[in-house]
A and B are shown apart, each in its own frame.
Chain A
């Protein structure tokens, strides 16, 4: 039994007011997620991540395809008893306090008064909101709201937890806390399915990732396999190269970047970086560094999503992407 299984999941939204034309948000997504561990759904904005989650939670209905959660069809909402969901940019009843809100959610699951009390207390402690018992939710900061949202997703001690962009809008400290929380849930044997466009978060957290682009599944794999793929290129940095050396560099390297007095180039595996290095040394070049470039999730992502021209928003809109690569 899979935690999440989708078969050919497709979703068309109709756009336009007068003449409706379909807009394919999700295109034949077939995916299997094992129980246990952390699964990341990656993709640029508008790739269909939120749509996927909303289909699984029955907030929107698929145009075609089917899906199962924990072996049960998504149309059978009794499976909601075993799952938790944190919506993207959550918003809660602003007049309630966090304990009141969590209590309401617990009541829906039919928990008794004592069980509710205990559960709410534990969860507030766990997400670090224990000291804000009296504050109404409308006075919560973005980070606190996010944590309250995570608490409500965990109210029923779910087996499978969906988190839509759990880190968005959080400061570095908040992100660290949420990350630790997710890792803690994995320790308990839960399955976590989360979507993000921040590759760094995915790289540090996920056991497996799927890459979604324009509604299509573009890549799927374990994080170990992705990161341990063979070395594919090397980077050489020269100081004060002569024009002749620069010419040589340009003929061999896949990219040459000049910054001040240094020239940095990337030599692909095919051009045999060691021989290139030898050539430079022969001609008296001053080599500052020679590094093997290891594959990162970002490389994998770019490879799958395509050239920067095809997905311009990945790099430009999200500078932190890949910033925490080892």
Chain B
């Protein structure tokens, strides 16, 4: 390298101009890019609209890179989902097509089916609210991966939780339990769903199985939230029984759980699954405190 001090005037002038142009144009690119982004909407969504074609045709066109492309679309689907959730979007019109594309490209991309089953079916704003699309995706997955019983579990789950079609759910669990390697509790589930569909205990059992299976973090977090809600709902029901009992004995509503402790119904202030104490509302019923992180709507 030449020492920078030994360049002639002409050379210096050119270097200076080049640096100036470089810096000025780079600085100008910034606001311009922002303006383009604003006008186009957020960048990738424009791209996403291009991708609603048929994955099968795409697969023939992508020269053997279908696996990679499937992964890209799967990533896109997750990103799209995350962004829609952040924006509290009411609809996620592209989630289904994206998952379909990813699974068309790679029919063995199991995570896409399982993820799709949960979040396509879930009501907005937690999911896309398209249980029928979820069923379709799962059926496609079952055809492509006949030996994988977990997809039957998911199918049954969508029937149970989102469509409240307990006979169909039971049939799905039963079909899954007959697959090689299926867990024994699938049979129990089939029976329980048939007999006591709609009860918290059955629902909690279903969510627990999803929570226990290692896989997508998003799915597990969602399962944990649902479980907490279900548990809180059960606990609230039990607390209301105690409050009712207190009222019958004492002839008045308790103003707090402390009163129930004094009366010997409770040993300590009860806490919900997120650790916040339960409170007694103005109507005299047990309720979640404001600090609670549990979302009761998740328990239906």
Contact assessment for B1 and A76 in the assembled complex, using a CB-CB cutoff below 8 Å? no
Contact assessment for B2 and A62 in the assembled complex, using a CB-CB cutoff below 8 Å? yes
Chain A residues, CB < 8 A from B3: 63-64
B12 (CB) vs chain A CBs: closest residue? A75
Contact assessment for A61 and B2 in the assembled complex, using a CB-CB cutoff below 8 Å? yes
Chain A residues, CB < 8 A from B11: 75
Chain A residues, CB < 8 A from B8: 73, 75-76
Chain A residues, CB < 8 A from B6: 62, 66, 75
Chain A residues, CB < 8 A from B7: 75
Measured CA separation A61–B1 after assembly (Å): 7
Chain B residues, CB < 8 A from A63: 2-3
A62 (CB) vs chain B CBs: closest residue? B2
Chain B residues, CB < 8 A from A75: 6-8, 11
Measured CA separation A63–B8 after assembly (Å): 15
Please give the distance in Å from A29's CB to the nearest CB on chain B.
16
Size bin of chain A's contact surface: under 10
Chain B residues, CB < 8 A from A73: 8
Measured CA separation A115–B3 after assembly (Å): 40
Measured CA separation A61–B6 after assembly (Å): 10
- Is B10 located at the chain interface by the 8 A CB criterion? yes
Q: Mark B2-38, 1 if CB is under 8 A from A, else 0.
A: 1100111011000000000000000000000000000
Task: Tally A-B pairs: CB < 8 A.
Answer: 16
B11 (CB) vs chain A CBs: closest residue? A75
Please give the distance in Å from A79's CB to the nearest CB on chain B.
11
Chain B residues, CB < 8 A from A66: 6
Residues of B contacting A: mostly: loop
Q: Mark A40-79, 1 if CB is under 8 A from B, else 0.
A: 0000000000000000000001111010000001011100
Size bin of chain B's contact surface: under 10
B10 (CB) vs chain A CBs: closest residue? A76
Chain B residues, CB < 8 A from A77: 10
Measured CA separation A61–B5 after assembly (Å): 12
**Which of B1, B8, B10, B11: most chain A Cβ within 10 A?**
B8
Measured CA separation A185–B3 after assembly (Å): 36
Please give the distance in Å from A68's CB to the nearest CB on chain B.
12
Measured CA separation A175–B211 after assembly (Å): 88
Chain B residues, CB < 8 A from A76: 8, 10
A72 (CB) vs chain B CBs: closest residue? B8
Please give the distance in Å from B219's CB to the nearest CB on chain A.
47
Please give the distance in Å from A54's CB to the nearest CB on chain B.
13
Chain A residues, CB < 8 A from B10: 76-77
Please give the distance in Å from A106's CB to the nearest CB on chain B.
24
B1 (CB) vs chain A CBs: closest residue? A61
Q: Mark A76-114, 1 if CB is under 8 A from B, else 0.
A: 110000000000000000000000000000000000000
Please give the distance in Å from A264's CB to the nearest CB on chain B.
54
Please give the distance in Å from A62's CB to the nearest CB on chain B.
7
Measured CA separation A13–B11 after assembly (Å): 23
Please give the distance in Å from B4's CB to the nearest CB on chain A.
10
Please give the distance in Å from A22's CB to the nearest CB on chain B.
11
Interface residues of A (CB under 8 A from B): 61-64, 66, 73, 75-77
16 contacts between A and B (CB under 8 A): A61-B1, A61-B2, A62-B2, A62-B6, A63-B2, A63-B3, A64-B3, A66-B6, A73-B8, A75-B6, A75-B7, A75-B8, A75-B11, A76-B8, A76-B10, A77-B10
Interface residues of B (CB under 8 A from A): 1-3, 6-8, 10-11
Known: A62-B6, A73-B8. 12 other contacts (CB 8 A): A61-B1, A61-B2, A62-B2, A63-B2, A63-B3, A64-B3, A75-B7, A75-B8, A75-B11, A76-B8, A76-B10, A77-B10
